[in-house]
Structure 1
Amino acid sequence: MASSLGTILTISRLLVAATFFCVCILMGLFTSSFFRVLPSIGMMGMAATGLVCFLLHGRHYQRTSQSNYLPFLLIFLVHASSGLLTSAARIGEYTRDVVLQLPFLVLPLAFWLLPPLPSRNLRLLWLLLIGTTGLAALLSTGNYLLHFDQINEMYLRSKVMPTEPDHIRFSLLVTLSVSVGVCLLAHRSVVGKGANILWGVVICLAFYQHLLAVRSGLVALYVMAIIALLWLIFRTRQYQQALLLAAALVLVPAISYSLFPTLQNKSANTREDVGQVENTASANNYSLVGRVYSYKVALEVVKDNPWFGVGRADIEPEMAVRYQRSYPNIRPEFYIQPHNQFLFSAVAFGLVGLLLFIVGFYYAGLSIWPNYAPLLLAQYVIVTLSFLVEYTLETQIGLGYVLFFILLALEGQKPVPAPEGQWRPV
């Protein structure tokens, strides 16, 4: 029975199915507001495909080292074990969190069980990311032009233009798309007219990032550009390309600031925000001020619960108690959880849980060092920068974005049975 099934569900067909489910996950990041279940369909499909492939053909292909995948399970276990500290009134919130974190259990195992996706499939998936991001940016720009004055005014009130997904995650997708596009072009994975089109999309997305004017996305974009500049100077010694990139680092922000009212207004809003930090009551009206005080409150919680935290489900009431005690001028509707993934984890799971989270999350990147993996490095850098200002992993889209593209980059590290004659995106 198994042998006859294996002749139908061949490895090549199962890899096509896995690629399809990867497309579901990727597209689901952009359609969450009206097709929320699509990423879950993709993840469950990946898990089922990986399991079937392993059971039918596991003896016929070499799996990569489990050290690239299994450490992610630590993060799920940390969340699951926090139930030991959860109060009875917050069990429902604990259950929702465990369900939210299931991708850390499902996706790494699925990718580990599968044989390597062909380089062509990997390249198509990365190009799909760039194309979808470009289309979403085009639609967002069209909406901006239709509501020009209204949206420009929003930027003075710490708001931004509508995007799909939310503006923070979308800005990170834009930076990742630019980074991936440059890597594909540098390795000649796209040539001819396709390369010219890709260059156009990359340049447009770089300018769009300034039009969108989300601080975390802009910081990630320029950090990646500086890393690329250092690589060109010290590693490859391509001084002409380095000079062109350095010129772009000066000209692109200068041109963008002169052309885009959104960037001008975001800059003015940020300066005003920073100037209000000392006034506690300003947390009721200014987003940056609110974040600063959320950090202070979170540190108080960590000080009182240093080793194992208060449990993920009890963060909100524990933070509220200390807001009321230490900062009574801040109204309850403006209490926010700490916008920093590391600090958030320390509050929820204590310093022990934070350490386990760091090991589980970063081990895959460290385990392949010093192998060449520019896409993996780009995603880790972008995600780490976002961790400093957001609790990125506490939403379905944020977690899906972070984990899926790390695993997709790791896919390029898998050993292939025969040389493919082209760069495996990694």
Structure 2
Amino acid sequence: MAFSLGSTLTIPRLLVAAGFFCVCIIVGLFTSSFFRILPSIGMIGLLVTGVSCFAMHGQHYNRADRSYYWPFMLIFLLHIGGGLITIDGHMKEYTRDVLLQLPYLALPIGFWLLPPFPTRYLKRLWLTLLGTTVLAALLSTGNYLQHFDQINEMYLHSKVMPTEPDHIRFSLLITLAVVTGVCLLAHRNVLGWGNRLIWMSVGFLVFYQHLLAVRSGLVTLYAAGGLALLWLVFRRRQYLQALLLAGCLVLVPTISYSVFPTLQNKSANTREDVGRVTHTASANNYSLVGRVYSYKIALEILQNNPWFGVGRADIESEMAAYYQKRYPNIRPSAYIQPHNQFLFSAVAFGLVGLIVFIVGFYYAGISVWPRYAPLLLTQYVILTLSFLVEYTLETQIGLGFALFFLLLALEGQKVTAKPETTWRPV
């Protein structure tokens, strides 16, 4: 029976299934409001495919180094351990958090047990990201043009145009998609009409990022551009290309600011937001002000619970108690959790937990260094910058985006049985 099943579910067929489930995850990031379960289907399917492939054919291929994958599971254990200090009334929230963190098990195990994806599969998966992002951006642009004045006005009130997924995660996806397109072009993985289509897609997404005018997206985009500039100057010695890129990094924002009302209004709103930081009541209406006070409260909680924190499930109630005590003129509806992943983790799990989180999350990137891995490096840069202003990993879409594309980039590090003639996206 096992032999018959193995002869039917061959490695190539299982890799096709794994690729399909990866597509489910990528597309699912853009369908969270109307098909929320799709990323979960992809993650479960990838795990089942990996386990099945190893059970039936594990003796026929070598798995990747487990040090790339196992450290991520430490973060899941960290959330499990949070139950030890969770109060009885918050056990439902604790259970919800543990379920949310299951990708830390499913995705690393699934990728680790699978044999290497062929390079053409990796290329198609990254192109799926690029194509899906372009489609979502086109739909968003169409909606913007239909509600031009209304959406422009929203940007003066700390709001942005509707997107799928939410504007912060979407802006990060745009940056990663732009870098993906540039890498595929630079390594000549796509030729002919596909090459021209990628050029147009990258150009469109760069300008759309400015139209969307989300601070996280713009910062990550220019950080990626800065890294590319340093690479061209110091590693490749391609000074002409570096000069052209530097010109683009100056010209594109200049043109965008003169053309897009959203970027102009977002800039004005940001300046006003910063100017109100000293006024506590402004936290009720201004996002940056609210974040500043959430940081102050989080640091005070951390001072009182330095080693093991208050538990992930208890953060909301602890923050609310401190808000009421320290800043009574901030309305309960404006209470927010600390918009910083490192600070959030420290409050939840203490300094001990923060160290475990940093080791678990960054160990794979440290292990790969200094090998050439532009997509992996870019994803780590994007996530690290987003961690400074968001608790990125505390939502289903944020965690799925972060973990899946790190592991997909790591897939390019696997050694294939047959030598590849083209660059493996990594």
TM range (shorter): over 0.9
1:18-417 correspondence to structure 2 within 5 Å: 18-417=18-417
Secondary structure of 1:78's match?
helix
- 1:4 equivalent in alignment to 2:11: no
What letter is aligned with 2:153? E
Question: What does the per-residue CA deviation read over 1:313-353, in whole Å, with 9 as the maximum and x for residues that have no partner?
Answer: 00011111111111111111111000000000000000000
Paired with 1:91 and 1:135, the residues of 2 have a C-alpha distance of 40
Which consecutive segments of 4 or more residues in structure 1 shift more than 6 A?
Answer: none
- Coordinate RMSD, CA, aligned: 0.5
Rounded to whole Å, the distance in 1 between the matches of 2:83 and 2:311 is 7
**Residue 15 (structure 1) aligned with residue 15 (structure 2):** yes
Q: Which amino acid aligns with 1:194?
A: G
Larger deviation: 264-273 or 280-289?
Answer: 280-289
Deviation at 1:270, TM superposition (A): 0.1
> Letter of the aligned partner of 2:174 in structure 1?
V
Q: 2:50 is aligned with what amino acid?
A: G
Counterpart code for 1:8: T
Q: Residues of 1 paired with 2:249 and 2:50: CA distance?
A: 43
What letter corresponds to residue 255 of structure 1 in structure 2? I
1:197 and 1:42 map into 2 onto residues whose CA distance is 28
Distance 2:23 2:285 in 1: 40
- Cα distance in 2, alignment partners of residues 336 and 248 from structure 1: 37
Name structure 2 gaps, 5 residues minimum. none
- 1:245 Cα shift? 0.3
> What is the distance in 1 between the residues matched to 2:300 and 2:327?
12
Please report how far the alpha carbon of residue 5 of structure 1 lies from its aligned counterpart in structure 2 after TM superposition.
1.2
Q: How far off is 1:4 after superposition?
A: 1.6
CA distance in 2, matches of 1:47, 1:320: 38
Residue type of the alignment partner of 1:180: T
Q: Name the SS for the 1:309 alignment partner.
A: coil
AA paired with 1:142?
A: G
The aligned amino acid for 1:49 is: T
Write the distance in 2 (CA, Å) between the matches of 1:408 and 1:285.
Answer: 39
Secondary structure of the corresponding residue to residue 31 of structure 1 = coil
Q: AA paired with 1:394?
A: E
CA distance in 2, matches of 1:166, 1:282: 24
Q: Which whole-Å CA distance do the structure 2 matches of 1:415 and 1:344 have between them?
A: 37
Distance 1:420 1:227 in 2: 27
The C-alpha deviation readout for 1:182-241, integer Å capped at 9, x for no partner, is 011000001122111101100110000000000000000000000000000000011111
Offset at residue 362 of structure 1 (A):
0.2
Cα offset for 1:244?
0.6
1:158, CA displacement in angstroms? 0.3
Aligned-pair identity (%) = 74
Deviation readout 1:81-108 (Å, 9 max, x if unpaired): 0000000000000000000000001110
Equivalence map 1:412-423=2 (5 Å): 412-423=412-423
- Aligned partner of 2:329: which letter? N
Output the CA distance in 2 between the equivalents of 1:313 and 1:74: 18
Amino acid at match of 2:292: V
Count residues with an aligned counterpart: 426
Q: What amino acid is the match of 1:88?
A: D
How far apart are residue 74 of structure 1 and its match?
A: 0.4
Q: Quick one: distance in 2 between partners of 1:158 and 1:409?
A: 34
Distance 2:285 2:58 in 1: 57
Listed one character per residue, the Cα deviations across residues 274-309 of structure 1 (whole Å, up to 9, x for unaligned) are 000011111111110000000000000000000000
| Offset from partner CA, 1:119-166 (integer Å, 9 cap, x none) | 000000000100000010000000000000000000000000000000
Distance 2:421 2:316 in 1: 53
Structure 2 counterpart of 1:373, which letter?
A: A
Q: What is the CA–CA distance in structure 2 between the aligned matches of 1:7 and 1:91, rounded to whole Å?
A: 46
Residue identity matched to 1:214 = V
Q: Amino acid of the residue matched to residue 361 of structure 1? A: F
Matched residue type, 1:314 = D
What's the CA shift for 1:3?
1.5
Q: CA-to-partner distance for each residue in 1:256-286, whole Å, 9 max, x for gaps?
A: 0000000000000000000000111111111
